[in-house]
């Protein structure tokens, strides 16, 4: 909670910076013949940013590294007194020290060494906190004075502030890139290890997936049991079924809400549909497995079809329902923002509403709609629970929606949470699947981007 | 130039068959639209009905009124009447005595066990709480309501039919007779199940509560929202309004779209590698869960925000720029407010997804049995969907209704969370 | 009120009226934009609507093809009929109506499609062309008549939104005439046009008049005098005076009309 | 960290959590956090090293493997093994149908991918139970069971399938000559739809059984125990899967459950020793302990005594 | 090319030039919209740009405050300077430039905000008012000067997009003058206005000229003659002729100019 106090102190300084900066600008504008470059608040923001941002960063950095330093200190002390201690024991010892220092429950009666270590530790923490406070506040004050001094009519305060904001924006967009890099890195090493055990092409083009068999016979991959094709085929089948349900229902709902429905109905229906996206997938899983799948099986039997009790159809359809709001709400928003003048133009040509929608509004809103569909599809590809519960886990290479299939994601999850062994191809396969899926969807997205670029209509 | 272009085509003749077709198409289209909305609403109703019909009973709990002799010797041998002493005493024996007195003449360990099994395994805590509430009870014989076991509870909620062969019934004939006696004595009462809202997780259905998971979800989603909303919106603005259009921006765009398709469990792997193993943050902590979910939600918000920004007509940007607003000002004063509905939709969908997600949390240790209610963002915690997942996977029958009830809580959580965004979104909405 | 009343206010159209408006009141929310308008629009002639900005000309025009329906808080009262059929209360299909009554809006609003597709939109919609050649021909003819062909013939596949202001305006005119509606409503069709382009459009209007009925909103009294047979003067939501164009401009009966056309108005 | 962290098997999870909860309620320590990561996943985390960031205890529905043990040792982890009881793996169907009486051989014939017929291994030809033995019902073979990644499945193939395979002389001979080949046959379940991989949610399997009375399900005894009003366990080799039969070792398809304690953490993370004591208390794992109510089949009393001593004494496991 | 050349083509501005354009070429993608334009715009005078639709008037206007920057495939070459400072190559902040060089667009583009906020946006942005009263006053004054006050004074809180075409146009004029820019660029500011409103705006232009520099695009040669001191005639992306307005209209030197102003153009 001491940190919180410091945080508020810095916040206070930031606000103070704003007020002083603005005040100085006001004073300048009063008796300076040169007009100020920017509006007054920007000078305030300029000072505030200097006051707040660096010292907050210092504080954050300090808080991240300080415990490590403190522990290192305790550790070095301990090593001095007892050279034989292993690093592992060290962490446990430090745990004791930290527990003792913070008044937590202890595993044993503290001995003198522990007590003194704990004392040292708390002392260090106190000093460190004090130092952090001094440094942060000093920096803040320093920044306050220098930036106040810098304020003069020619200072491009707005540009400076905007520069900071745009740097923050750039950092934000970097996070997406970093995430990707992180994902690739957290998959690639295991994947490479996997390809040590299983030939790349067997994995890529094999048509048989049965990770267990390979493992038990201890001659991994020899039987070609790591063929990813059935998984990708299953993913495609289920995603396809899912989109067959979700695209028409979602798009038509969006059209109805944005173009036909009254305000009240729309205000009601849109959030209601959005609830569909928030129902936990377990619920959908039960629904698919216990309501939809038996229904299909029985109807199939009546029609003389053989429908397995776990079917791609049931899972895909229920998944389609789940992602309806992704399409309906997002498409509704973009269609809603197509300018009214375009609708007017079409109506005035004697077009019916539906013609206006299909020929004018949807083309104009196409990039947004495609984005929504891609997003929905992405969710479908990534979904597990429904498939596990309703489509099963058997990797069948089939295009028949009435049979059980499984998907890449499901296999990744079951491989990762199931009984695993160190370095077995079975566990590593999950990483390879993850990476391969990543590549496949990447290709899909590149193609989608190209297509959207081609058909984009820019209005106004 | 052609001078005489006099057009001799007759005025538009409306082709009646075509018009009929067009009108029919129009009607059909409208109907399809309504049907689509209705289908979706219907399915939702179906799901909700099945959840509610299974789960509403969880908000009640069956209690058995037992006359307990609270003799001072065993509760408070020193006679201090101090709360700590009263709390530390064991009430199990007293409760068992009371049950035996209620049904005298029961012999044999098996019979005794099934008698004790009428009350919940933590029923002695009900007795303790009653004593702590009113220490004057010590030394008297008091009638105290204690929780029944989950089977008895299920029986009174109608989940265990009476008229089936004994072997198919969880409540055996002997227990049935006892219960009937108790019921005849008006000793069976149903009360609102407060504990469900104030307890953490438990292995006993009658003790299990949702609070731990709610608090965990609250912490986790607070972090998620605090991270993914600003980062997502800023990224979208940067890409849509500021970034130069070149290969790099395309790369980032494709990349973000691609992140949306990464299975959520892979985000868990990422979190494990970066936040736990590299940064050394604690396992099972909402702070890590929040960050992982934020990474997972980010693409949704970015994609929705970009679509919304793109939809704002350029003339509005030009108007602002023409007055001397900077691009940043144009964006924040005009474009962003107009794009807000779409951005909020993205946030609603993204957060809904984050609220219902279990798989990534598996990797970072949040799929766990955690009985204590988390007190901070770095304490071990679960979240609502995990709680649902765990309960749905428990053998005890009593968890069936709890599972549904937990789903109801999750949906309530969702509705409350969305409500703010939905109201905001309505305020920002306008056509131009 | 009886029919006598109307004739005093608005001389009957020279020919059989194509459109008659009786007692038309239009409201935007609570504020009234048009007050009890009585107006006959003759077939095969050009009627021009003049009046100061904001007096309700566009509003009236939009009543004639029910484009006001799409404005959320706009309510139209009274009776407007086309060829004797009530537009609002007889179950007439507004879609059909709008196909018969074309419109050029005040603000050019090309579709974000290619120039070709902008023009081809109507003919395709109404199935008035049967093959690609006919369509090409129709597009070319429409663009020629609007005086835009020469400027855009090499870029028919470029977006219509990339045209200059005046070009967009002509594009919208071409788009409207491409379906040959019986009645054409034009809301300041020449506002963004230079004199030569304007002359071209006026020529077009003159030519169209032979077979169609035209209503045009204009701020230029010269233009009204040049192209229209009858002129209606609106002021503050009222129809002040209507009559043969020559008559109205030479001997206006209402002081307000007088004031407006002599430029003394305030 | 002042809280015990337990990871590991989902089968042991219900028992481990019950003890953890009671432990939290009755002692001054915090309630341990128990994660369900699967036996293998638990081992992986557990053996990763010593220190606060690593778990203190892992549960397993099978014994630790040699490779896992090596990894542990390599990372400086020394462990104490605690065997806590048995779990019966049952084959069950809906009470709407008749109870099945099966032998392991029949189970093998029904579920193996390849079966010996007239001395040759062929793809499993049996579609109905009555194809295997005329005394069995004339209904489609449809068995819902766990996926290959599950420990339950491991145990099932090892105990039931292998046991069945051994009944064929031909396979028995093969086992002697080529153990790998034998295992490959015995452990491979058919993939033509008769065996349905149904995920690890056992409640779901039970509900599916109710919906489909023809089908059989494979899962742990505690689920049968809790749902005795709806489903019945098939008799295997003459023994019904009951508490008593499993405890007595009469029911053949049962496996032992374990947990492993990281000795290095005892004394550093508060409460580990006390937790082990609580688990090995008669109140918990005894014949009438609360774990028995949860479906854990206790060890025989003598074994309990022995395990208790070694566990409380934190004897190191060596392999 | 040397400076001599320019003077023959474009007489030097009557006063010290406020803006000079040298060798300006503008391309939309591959197609050239302006070809080597040389033009001086004098301070404190009104320069009008005339020419047939699509000849590049708006494009040129948008060069002067760098609004072309926001059009994706538009490239500007050459040198344009304001008070001697190069607009494009001297690191001048386009934001500051646009605050100094206000613009009224050809298509009225009010913000989807209230009428008040539309006008108040500029003053708030540039902090040229210090309190609410001043702001109110500024809004009222701007609206009055654009001749819109009487019509909207009761509905200042209503959206600007709910105004009539001409009202929107005046709103945009009022919005532009509310920030008192040094130079005002007006792209057909009276296209949707009736004669009285037009007169009002012309009066405003005349009044503004005393302190500011104004460039106006118009299709009405009468208007150009009425309000401007200098006139530039554009044709097919070229600047054909520029000179004192009186001179240009009475004795044009180029045949094309002659043709255009006498309406013989084709
Ligand atoms: N965004 C654009 N993309 C492509 N070409 C354009 C674009 N804007 C204008 N043009 C073309 O550049 C030329 C000049 O256009 P500009 O808008 O400057 O004409 P203008 O003189 O203002 O005409 P008007 O009087 O009709 O408004 C025209 O041929 C036009 O088609
Ligand atoms: N959508 C709307 N909402 C509210 N009021 C409106 C709307 N459209 C127009 N008005 C008001 O109705 C009155 C008439 O508007 P209308 O557009 O018919 O004028 P107009 O005669 O076409 O003028 P202009 O010549 O300027 O285009 C005006 O006062 C205008 O402000
Ligand atoms: Mg108008
Ligand atoms: Mg222009
Ligand atoms: O979780 P398991 O018991 O199957 O390892």
Instruction: Judge contact between B294 and B286, C-beta under 8 A.
Output: no
Residue, of E107 and B110, whose pLDDT is higher: E107
Query: Roughly what angle, to the nearest 10 degrees, separates helices B399-428 and B336-355?
Result: 180
Q: What is the largest CA-CA distance in chain E?
A: 58
Is the sign of the CA dihedral B105, B110, B112, B116 positive or negative?
negative
Tell me, yes or no, whether B219 and B186 share the same domain. Answer: no
Q: Using one digit for the tens of pLDDT, what is the confidence trace for E57-71?
A: 999 999 998 988 888
Within a 10 A sphere around the Cβ of A200, how many other Cβ atoms? Answer: 10
Within a 10 A sphere around the Cβ of E44, how many other Cβ atoms? Answer: 16
Residues of C in contact with B26 (CB under 8 A): 95
pLDDT bucket at E94, cuts 50 / 70 / 90: confident
C58 lines ligand 2 (CB under 6 A): yes
Give the span between the Cα atoms of B41 and B35, in whole angstroms: 10
Query: How much distance in Å is there from the Cα of E164 to the middle of ligand 3?
Result: 5
pLDDT bucket at C264, cuts 50 / 70 / 90: low
Q: Using one digit for the tens of pLDDT, what is the confidence trace for A291-306?
A: 888 888 888 888 887 7
Chain-centroid distance, C-alpha A46: 32
Q: Number of A to B CB contacts under 8 A, please give it.
A: 315
Within a 10 A sphere around the Cβ of B255, how many other Cβ atoms? Answer: 18
Residue D258 to residues D76, D82, D87, D243, D310: CA-CA distances in angstroms?
21, 5, 11, 19, 13
Per-residue confidence (pLDDT) for residue B162, from 0 to 100:
82
**Residue E99 to residue B324, Cβ atoms within 8 A:** yes
Which chains have 3+ CB pairs within 8 A of B? A, C, D, E
Q: Using one digit for the tens of pLDDT, what is the confidence trace for A325-361?
A: 999 999 999 998 888 889 999 998 888 889 999 999 9
Instruction: Judge contact between E197 and C266, C-beta under 8 A.
Output: no
Residues of C in contact with E265 (CB under 8 A): 196
DSSP tag of A310: S
Mean of pLDDT values over B290-299:
94
Q: Is the pLDDT of residue B289 over 60?
A: yes
Within a 10 A sphere around the Cβ of D59, how many other Cβ atoms? Answer: 30
Q: Using one digit for the tens of pLDDT, what is the confidence trace for A427-449?
A: 888 899 999 999 999 998 888 88
Q: Which residues contact C141 (CB under 8 A, 6 or more apart)?
A: B5, B7
**Whole-number average pLDDT of chain C:** 86
Structure tokens at A269: 């229906």
Per-residue confidence (pLDDT) for residue B42, from 0 to 100:
93
Instruction: Judge contact between A290 and A264, C-beta under 8 A.
Output: no
Domains of chain A listed by start with CATH number:
2-155 (no CATH), 225-459 (1.10.3720.10)
DSSP conformation letters of A141-168 = HHHHHHHHHH--TT--HHHHHHHHHHHH
Q: Which residues constitute the domain of residue C199?
A: 3-261
Q: Using one digit for the tens of pLDDT, what is the confidence trace for B176-206?
A: 888 888 888 888 888 898 889 998 898 888 8
Q: Which of A394, A240, A239 is nearest to A308 (CA)?
A: A394
DSSP tag of B79: -
Query: How much distance in Å is there from the Cα of E61 to the middle of ligand 4?
Result: 9
How many domains are contained in chain C?
1
Give the span between the Cα atoms of D136 and D235, in whole angstroms: 12
DSSP conformation letters of A174-234 = HHHHHHHHHHHHHHHHHHHHHHHHS-HHHHHH---B-HHHHHHTTSTTTT-TB--HHHHHH
Q: Is the pLDDT of residue C217 over 90?
A: yes
Mean of pLDDT values over B108-113:
81
Structural domain ending residue among the three candidates B162, B192, B222? B192
- Touching, C vs D (3+ Cβ pairs under 8 A): no
3-state secondary structure B258-326: HHHCCCHHHHHHHHHHHHHHHCCCCCCCHHHHHHHHHHHHHHHHHHHHHHHHHCCCHHHHHHHHHCCCC
Classify strands E183-187 and E213-217 as parallel, antiparallel or unpaired.
parallel
Q: Which residue has the tokens 């001072």?
A: B72
Alpha helix stretches (DSSP H) within chain D: 13-26, 39-46, 66-74, 104-111, 129-132, 151-156, 162-165, 169-177, 179-187, 202-211, 221-226, 243-248, 272-279, 282-285, 290-293, 301-312
Instruction: Judge contact between E179 and E123, C-beta under 8 A.
Output: yes
Residues of A in contact with E95 (CB under 8 A): 158
**Whole-number average pLDDT of chain D:** 86
Mean of pLDDT values over D200-219:
85
Residues of A in contact with B358 (CB under 8 A): 280-282, 385
Instruction: Judge contact between E152 and E96, C-beta under 8 A.
Output: no
**Residue B260 to residue A413, Cβ atoms within 8 A:** no
pLDDT bucket at B293, cuts 50 / 70 / 90: very high
Tell me, yes or no, whether B122 and B268 share the same domain. Answer: no
Instruction: Judge contact between D80 and D259, C-beta under 8 A.
Output: no
ipTM of the complex, rounded to two decimals:
0.91
Give the span between the Cα atoms of B241 and C35, in whole angstroms: 46
pLDDT bucket at A456, cuts 50 / 70 / 90: low
pLDDT bucket at A422, cuts 50 / 70 / 90: low
Instruction: Judge contact between E188 and E53, C-beta under 8 A.
Output: no
Per-residue confidence (pLDDT) for residue A393, from 0 to 100:
75
Per-residue confidence (pLDDT) for residue A33, from 0 to 100:
67
Interface residue of A25, A39, A160 to substitute, partner E, most E CBs within 10 Å? A39
**Residue C179 to residue B12, Cβ atoms within 8 A:** yes
Q: Is the pLDDT of residue A248 over 90?
A: yes
Residue B24 belongs to some domain of the structure? no
Q: Is the pLDDT of residue C99 over 90?
A: no
Q: Is the pLDDT of residue A152 over 70?
A: yes
Give the span between the Cα atoms of A421 and A425, in whole angstroms: 9
Query: Which CATH number fits the domain that encloses residue E38?
Result: 3.40.50.300
Per-residue confidence (pLDDT) for residue B286, from 0 to 100:
93
DSSP tag of D294: T
**Residue A39 to residue E93, Cβ atoms within 8 A:** no
How many domains are contained in chain B?
2
pLDDT bucket at C7, cuts 50 / 70 / 90: very low
Per-residue confidence (pLDDT) for residue C2, from 0 to 100:
39
Give the span between the Cα atoms of D87 and D150, in whole angstroms: 14
Tell me, yes or no, whether B261 and B347 share the same domain. Answer: yes
Residue C17 belongs to some domain of the structure? yes
Give the span between the Cα atoms of C178 and C182, in whole angstroms: 12
Classify strands C31-42 and C17-28 as parallel, antiparallel or unpaired.
antiparallel
Tell me, yes or no, whether B101 and B236 share the same domain. Answer: no
Q: Is the pLDDT of residue E236 over 50?
A: yes
Per-residue confidence (pLDDT) for residue E264, from 0 to 100:
60
Nearest Cα residue to atom 27 of ligand 1: C165
**Residue D13 to residue B203, Cβ atoms within 8 A:** no
Give the span between the Cα atoms of D125 and D115, in whole angstroms: 8
pLDDT bucket at A104, cuts 50 / 70 / 90: low
**Whole-number average pLDDT of chain B:** 87
Q: Where are the strands (E) in E29-93, listed by range?
A: 31-42, 46-50, 74-82, 85-86
Residue C266 belongs to some domain of the structure? no
Share of chain E above pLDDT 90, in %: 41
Residue E266 belongs to some domain of the structure? no
Instruction: Judge contact between E57 and E217, C-beta under 8 A.
Output: yes
Q: Which of residues 11-40 of B touch C (CB under 8 A)?
A: 11-15, 18-19, 22-23, 26
* Region label for A364, one of left (φ > 0), alpha (ψ between -120 and 50) or beta (otherwise): alpha
Is the sign of the CA dihedral D153, D159, D160, D162 positive or negative?
positive
Interface check for C95 against chain A (CB to CB < 8 A): the answer is: yes
Interface check for E125 against chain A (CB to CB < 8 A): the answer is: yes
Tell me, yes or no, whether B160 and B306 share the same domain. Answer: no
Q: Using one digit for the tens of pLDDT, what is the confidence trace for A13-32?
A: 889 888 888 888 888 777 76
Structural domain ending residue among the three candidates B157, B192, B227? B192
Interface check for D228 against chain B (CB to CB < 8 A): the answer is: yes
For chain D, report the end-to-end CA distance as a whole number of angstroms.
Answer: 31
Q: Using one digit for the tens of pLDDT, what is the confidence trace for B216-230?
A: 999 999 999 999 999
Per-residue confidence (pLDDT) for residue E183, from 0 to 100:
92
**Residue E109 to residue B318, Cβ atoms within 8 A:** yes
- Residues facing E85 on adjacent strands: E82
Structure tokens at C117: 């597709």
Q: Is the pLDDT of residue C139 over 90?
A: yes
pLDDT bucket at C120, cuts 50 / 70 / 90: very high
Give the span between the Cα atoms of C26 and C75, in whole angstroms: 6
Structural domain ending residue among the three candidates B192, B223, B257? B192
Q: What is the largest CA-CA distance in chain B?
A: 120
Tell me, yes or no, whether B181 and B216 share the same domain. Answer: no
pLDDT bucket at B335, cuts 50 / 70 / 90: very high
3-state SS, residue A276? helix
Cβ-in-10-Å burial (0-12, 13-18, 19+) of C103 comes to buried
Per-residue confidence (pLDDT) for residue D118, from 0 to 100:
82
pLDDT bucket at D283, cuts 50 / 70 / 90: confident
Q: Which residue has the tokens 């001048």?
A: E92
Among all bound ligands, the one having the nearest atom to the CA of E35 is 1
pLDDT bucket at A108, cuts 50 / 70 / 90: low
Q: Where are the strands (E) in B156-299, listed by range?
A: 188-192
DSSP tag of D159: I
Q: Which residues constitute the domain of residue B402?
A: 210-428
pLDDT bucket at C171, cuts 50 / 70 / 90: very high
Per-residue confidence (pLDDT) for residue C10, from 0 to 100:
47
Chain-centroid distance, C-alpha D215: 21
Per-residue confidence (pLDDT) for residue C48, from 0 to 100:
92
Query: How much distance in Å is there from the Cα of E161 to the middle of ligand 2?
Result: 10
Per-residue confidence (pLDDT) for residue A1, from 0 to 100:
58
Structure tokens at C64: 């004639």
Residues of A in contact with D41 (CB under 8 A): 416-420
Structure tokens at E74: 């538009």
Per-residue confidence (pLDDT) for residue D319, from 0 to 100:
72
Q: Using one digit for the tens of pLDDT, what is the confidence trace for A204-241?
A: 888 888 776 444 334 333 344 788 888 999 999 999 99
Q: Of the candidates A218, A416, A422, which has its C-beta nearest D71's C-beta?
A: A422
Tell me, yes or no, whether B248 and B355 share the same domain. Answer: yes
Tell me, yes or no, whether B173 and B273 share the same domain. Answer: no
D145 lines ligand 5 (CB under 6 A): no
Q: Which atom of ligand 2 is nearest to the CA of E163?
A: 31
Least confident of A111-115, B4-8, B256-260, E40-44: B4-8
Q: Is the pLDDT of residue E171 over 90?
A: yes
Query: How much distance in Å is there from the Cα of B318 to the middle of ligand 1?
Result: 16
**Residue E100 to residue B329, Cβ atoms within 8 A:** no
Q: Is the pLDDT of residue B355 over 50?
A: yes
Tell me, yes or no, whether B156 and B119 share the same domain. Answer: yes
Give the span between the Cα atoms of E57 and E231, in whole angstroms: 12
Instruction: Judge contact between C240 and C254, C-beta under 8 A.
Output: yes
Q: Using one digit for the tens of pLDDT, what is the confidence trace for D68-127?
A: 888 888 888 889 999 999 888 999 988 888 888 888 889 988 988 888 888 788 888 888
Residue C127 belongs to some domain of the structure? yes
Q: Of the candidates A342, A348, A363, which has its C-beta nearest C98's C-beta?
A: A348
Tell me, yes or no, whether B404 and B334 share the same domain. Answer: yes
Give the span between the Cα atoms of E204 and A86, in whole angstroms: 88
pLDDT bucket at C34, cuts 50 / 70 / 90: very high
**Whole-number average pLDDT of chain A:** 83
Interface check for D51 against chain A (CB to CB < 8 A): the answer is: yes
Compute the residue count for chain E.
Answer: 266
Cα–Cα–Cα angle for C3, C9, C12, rounded to 5 degrees: 65
Tell me, yes or no, whether B226 and B363 share the same domain. Answer: yes
Q: How far is B317 from chain E (nearest CA, A)?
A: 9
Q: Using one digit for the tens of pLDDT, what is the confidence trace for E180-220?
A: 899 999 999 998 888 888 988 999 999 998 888 999 999 88
Residue B174 to residues A213, B110, B181, C79, C80: CA-CA distances in angstroms?
50, 11, 11, 85, 86
Q: Is the pLDDT of residue B292 over 60?
A: yes
Residue B271 belongs to some domain of the structure? yes
Instruction: Judge contact between E100 and E181, C-beta under 8 A.
Output: yes
Give the span between the Cα atoms of A356 and A57, in whole angstroms: 53
Instruction: Judge contact between E28 and C162, C-beta under 8 A.
Output: yes
Tell me, yes or no, whether B266 and B396 share the same domain. Answer: yes
Per-residue confidence (pLDDT) for residue C8, from 0 to 100:
37
Q: Which of A307, A376, A365, A300 is nearest to A336 (CA)?
A: A365
Give the span between the Cα atoms of B161 and D69, in whole angstroms: 50
């Amino acid at each position: 909670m001491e940190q919180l106090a410091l945080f508020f102190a810095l916040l206070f300084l930031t606000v103070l910076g704003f007020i002083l900066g603005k005040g100085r600008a006001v004073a300048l504008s009063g008796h300076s013949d040169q007009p100020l470059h920017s509006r007054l608040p920007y000078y305030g923001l300029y000072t505030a940013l200097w006051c707040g941002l660096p010292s907050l960063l210092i504080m954050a950095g300090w808080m991240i590294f300080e415990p490590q330093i403190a522990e290192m200190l305790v550790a070095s002390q301990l090593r001095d007194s007892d050279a034989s201690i292993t690093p592992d024991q060290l962490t446990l010892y430090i745990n004791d020290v930290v527990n003792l220092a913070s008044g937590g429950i202890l595993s044993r009666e503290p001995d003198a060494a522990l007590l003194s270590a704990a004392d040292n530790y708390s002392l260090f923490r106190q000093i460190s906190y004090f130092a952090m406070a001094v440094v942060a506040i000093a920096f803040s004050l320093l920044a306050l004075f220098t930036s106040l001094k810098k304020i003069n009519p020619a200072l491009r305060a707005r540009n400076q502030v905007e520069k900071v904001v745009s740097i923050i924006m750039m950092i934000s967009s970097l996070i997406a890139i970093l995430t990707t890099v992180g994902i690739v890195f957290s998959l690639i090493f295991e994947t490479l290890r996997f390809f040590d055990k299983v030939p790349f092409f067997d994995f890529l083009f094999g048509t048989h997936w049965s990770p267990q068999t390979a493992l038990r016979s201890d001659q991994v991959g020899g039987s070609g049991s790591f063929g990813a094709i059935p998984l990708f085929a299953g993913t495609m089948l289920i995603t396809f079924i899912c989109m067959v349900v979700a695209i028409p229902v979602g798009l038509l709902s969006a059209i109805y809400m944005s173009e036909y429905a009254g305000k009240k109905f729309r205000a009601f229906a849109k959030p209601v549909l959005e609830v569909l996206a928030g129902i936990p997938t377990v619920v959908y899983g039960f629904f698919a497995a216990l309501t939809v799948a038996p229904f299909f099986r029985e109807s199939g039997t009546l029609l003389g079809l053989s429908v397995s009790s776990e079917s791609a159809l049931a899972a895909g359809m229920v998944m389609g329902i789940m992602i309806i709001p992704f399409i309906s709400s997002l498409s509704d928003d973009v269609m809603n923002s197509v300018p009214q003048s375009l609708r007017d133009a079409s109506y005035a040509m004697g077009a019916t509403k539906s013609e206006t929608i299909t020929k004018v509004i949807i083309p104009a809103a196409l990039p947004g709609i495609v984005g929504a569909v891609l997003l929905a599809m992405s969710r479908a590809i990534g979904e597990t629970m429904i498939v596990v519960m309703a489509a099963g886990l058997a990797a069948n290479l089939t295009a028949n929606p009435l049979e059980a299939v499984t998907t890449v994601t499901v296999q990744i999850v079951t491989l990762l949470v199931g009984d695993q062994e160190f370095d077995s191809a079975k566990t590593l396969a999950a990483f390879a699947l993850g990476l391969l899926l990543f590549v496949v969807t990447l290709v899909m997205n590149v193609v989608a981007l190209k297509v959207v670029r081609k058909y984009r209509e820019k209005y106004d | 130039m052609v001078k005489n272009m006099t057009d001799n085509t007759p005025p538009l003749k409306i082709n009646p068959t075509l018009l009929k077709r067009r009108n029919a198409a129009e009607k059909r289209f409208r109907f399809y639209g309504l049907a689509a909305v209705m289908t979706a609403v219907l399915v939702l109703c179906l799901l909700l009905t099945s959840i509610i019909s299974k789960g509403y009973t969880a908000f009640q709990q069956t209690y058995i009124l037992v006359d307990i002799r609270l003799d001072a010797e065993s509760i408070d041998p020193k006679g201090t009447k101090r709360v700590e002493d009263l709390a530390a005493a064991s009430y199990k024996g007293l409760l068992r005595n009371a049950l035996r007195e209620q049904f005298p003449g029961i012999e044999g360990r098996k019979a005794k066990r099934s008698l004790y099994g009428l009350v919940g395994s933590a029923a002695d805590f009900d007795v303790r709480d009653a004593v702590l509430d009113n220490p004057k009870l010590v030394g008297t014989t008091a009638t105290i309501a204690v929780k029944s076991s989950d089977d008895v509870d299920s029986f009174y909620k109608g989940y265990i039919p009476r008229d089936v062969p004994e072997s198919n019934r969880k409540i055996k004939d002997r227990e049935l007779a006892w219960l009937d006696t108790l019921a005849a004595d008006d000793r069976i009462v149903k009360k609102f199940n407060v504990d469900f809202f104030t307890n953490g997780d438990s292995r006993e259905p009658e003790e299990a509560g949702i609070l731990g998971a709610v608090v965990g979800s609250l912490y986790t989603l607070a972090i998620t929202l605090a991270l993914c909303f600003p980062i997502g919106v800023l990224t979208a603005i940067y890409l849509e309004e500021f970034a130069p259009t070149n290969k790099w921006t395309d790369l980032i765009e494709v990349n973000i779209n691609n992140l949306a398709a990464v299975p959520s469990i892979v985000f868990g792997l990422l979190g494990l590698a970066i936040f736990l193993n590299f940064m050394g943050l604690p396992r099972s902590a909402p702070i890590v869960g929040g960050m992982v979910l934020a990474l997972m939600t980010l693409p949704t918000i970015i994609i929705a925000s970009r679509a919304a920004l793109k939809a704002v007509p350029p003339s509005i940007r030009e108007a602002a720029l023409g007055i001397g607003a900077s691009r940043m000002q144009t964006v924040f004063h005009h474009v962003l407010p107009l794009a807000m509905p779409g951005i909020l939709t993205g946030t609603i969908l993204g957060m809904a997804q984050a609220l219902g997600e279990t798989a990534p949390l598996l990797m970072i240790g949040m799929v766990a049995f955690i009985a204590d209610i988390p007190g901070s963002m770095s304490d071990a915690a679960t979240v609502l969907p995990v709680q649902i997942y765990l309960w749905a996977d428990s053998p005890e029958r009593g968890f069936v209704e709890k599972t549904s009830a937990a789903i109801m809580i999750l949906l309530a959580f969702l509705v409350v969370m969305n409500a703010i965004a939905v109201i905001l979104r309505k305020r920002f909405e306008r056509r131009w | 009120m009886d029919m006598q009343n109307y004739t005093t206010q608005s001389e009957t159209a020279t020919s059989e009226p194509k459109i008659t408006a009786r007692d038309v009141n239009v409201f935007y929310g609570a504020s009234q934009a048009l007050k009890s308008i009585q107006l006959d629009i003759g077939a095969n002639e050009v009627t021009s609507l003049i009046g100061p900005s904001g007096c309700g000309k566009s509003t009236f025009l939009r009543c004639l093809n029910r484009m006001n329906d799409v404005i959320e808080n706009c309510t139209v009262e009274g009776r407007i009929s086309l060829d004797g059929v009530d537009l609002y209360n007889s179950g007439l299909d507004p879609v059909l109506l709008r196909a018969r009554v074309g419109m050029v809006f005040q603000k050019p609003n090309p579709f974000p499609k290619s120039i070709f597709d902008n023009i081809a939109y109507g003919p395709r919609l109404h199935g008035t062309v049967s093959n690609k050649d006919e369509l090409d021909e129709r597009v070319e003819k429409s663009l020629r008549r609007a005086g835009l062909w020469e400027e855009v013939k090499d870029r028919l596949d470029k977006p219509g939104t990339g045209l200059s202001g005046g070009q967009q305006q002509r594009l919208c005119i071409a788009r409207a005439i491409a379906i040959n509606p019986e009645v054409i409503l034009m809301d300041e069709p020449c506002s963004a046009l230079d004199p030569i382009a304007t002359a071209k459009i006026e020529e077009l209007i003159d030519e169209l008049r032979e077979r169609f009925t035209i209503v045009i909103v204009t701020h230029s009294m010269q233009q009204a005098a040049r192209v229209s047979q009858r002129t209606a003067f609106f002021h503050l939501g009222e129809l002040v005076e209507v009559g043969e164009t020559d008559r109205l401009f030479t001997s206006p009966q209402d002081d307000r009309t007088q004031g407006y056309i002599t430029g003394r108005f305030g | 960290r002042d809280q015990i962290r337990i990871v590991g098997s989902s089968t042991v999870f219900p028992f481990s959590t019950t003890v953890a909860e009671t432990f939290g309620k009755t002692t001054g320590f915090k309630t341990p956090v128990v994660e369900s990561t699967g036996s293998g996943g638990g081992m992986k985390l557990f053996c990763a090293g010593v220190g606060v960031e690593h778990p203190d205890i892992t549960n397993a529905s099978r014994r630790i493997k040699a490779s896992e043990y090596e990894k542990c040792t390599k990372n400086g982890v020394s462990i104490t093994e605690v065997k806590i009881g048995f779990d019966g793996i049952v084959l069950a169907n809906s009470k709407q149908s008749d109870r099945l009486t099966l032998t392991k051989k029949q189970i093998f014939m029904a579920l193996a991918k390849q079966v010996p017929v007239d001395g040759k291994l062929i793809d499993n030809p049996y579609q109905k139970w009555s194809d295997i033995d005329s005394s069995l019902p004339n209904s489609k073979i449809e068995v819902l069971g766990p996926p290959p990644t599950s420990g339950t499945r491991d145990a099932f193939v090892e105990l039931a399938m292998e046991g069945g395979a051994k009944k064929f002389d031909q396979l028995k001979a093969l086992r002697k000559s080529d153990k790998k080949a034998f295992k490959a046959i015995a452990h491979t379940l058919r993939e033509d739809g008769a065996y349905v991989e149904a995920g690890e949610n056992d409640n779901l399997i039970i509900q599916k059984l109710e919906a489909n009375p023809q089908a059989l399900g494979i899962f742990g005894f505690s689920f049968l125990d809790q749902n005795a009003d709806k489903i019945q366990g098939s008799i295997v080799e003459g023994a019904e899967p009951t508490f008593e039969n499993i405890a007595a070792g009469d029911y053949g398809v049962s496996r032992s459950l374990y947990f492993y304690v990281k000795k290095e953490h005892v004394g550093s993370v508060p409460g580990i020793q006390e937790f082990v004591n609580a688990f090995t208390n008669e109140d918990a794992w005894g014949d009438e302990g609360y774990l028995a109510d949860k479906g854990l089949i206790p060890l025989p009393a003598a074994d309990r005594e022995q395990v208790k001593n070694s566990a409380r004494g934190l004897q190191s496991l060596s392999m």
